[in-house]
A = this chain, B = another copy of it.
Amino acid sequence: MITLNPDAQMNGSFIRTLRHPKINEPILIAGFPGLGEIGNIVAKMLIDLLQAELFAELYSSAFQDFVFIDKNGICRPPRYEFYDVRRGRDLIILTGDGYPSFDDIPGHYEICNDILDFIEKFACKSIITIDGAVSSLSQEKIYVSATSKEIVSQYVEKGATLYRNKRIIGLSGLILGLAKKRGFEGACLLASTPGYRRDRKAAFRVYRFLSEFLGNTSYL
């Protein structure tokens, strides 16, 4: 007898919702694993300082083929975590340790679209991604690219430097491009960093910039 298993429980991504937060039109702030770990560090700072709470996890068959073992010997697969903040303007903070294989381009697209599908349910219309951009040590800049001139201007007014005629590689850029196509607005903030190590200083620069930026648009 042959048993077919056409409906394997995880083909692509799936999102485990732990709780249904009462947030409305939140801004998504996403810090993916990346250059100098700036995205992850900024997300962590926001989570800690704003006392954001975990409400959903995303797992994907495009993530790495290993599990993480924590300090207690407990295993878990790579994942992203969604945290919510309800203060003035609602936020969803997204971070985690999953990453699609370098060569798996469809995996990159799939993860971005799964995230966008999910945040759309909360009427989220705006996203900010955080990453690093390689540059010489002496520079301490925050670059910005966005989905429209208007949004670019808002960030440039606050001191960000226009990022132009470049590419943003990986999820931080791709999700922004796909979001734009789907009618979201958004920006990618890139801290200049030498890039060869965990750059807490650059991350703190973005954190400060972002706090001030959000503060001036009815947040904090």
Contacts and interface: CB of A to CB of B under 8 A. Distances in A.
Interface of A: 1-6, 8-17, 59, 61-77, 100-101, 103-110, 113-114, 116-118, 144-149, 152, 156, 162-171, 173-174, 176-178, 180-182, 188
A152 B69 CA distance: 12
Contact of A65 (B5, B114, B174): B174
A85 B75 CA distance: 27
B106 A62 contact: yes
Given A61-B105, A65-B108, A66-B174, A164 B73 contact: yes
* Copies of this chain per assembly: 4
A12 B8 contact: yes
Contacts of A168: 66-67, 69, 75
A166 B69 contact: yes
Nearest to A71: B164
Contacts of A8: 12-13, 110, 113-114, 117
17 contacts: A2-B15, A5-B118, A8-B13, A8-B113, A9-B113, A9-B116, A67-B176, A68-B167, A69-B145, A69-B164, A69-B165, A69-B168, A70-B165, A73-B163, A73-B164, A77-B178, A103-B103
A17 B1 contact: yes
Nearest to A76: B177
A149 B64 CA distance: 24
B67 A173 contact: yes
A172 B71 CA distance: 19
A162 to B, nearest CB: 4
A181 B77 contact: yes
Contacts of A61: 105-106, 108-110
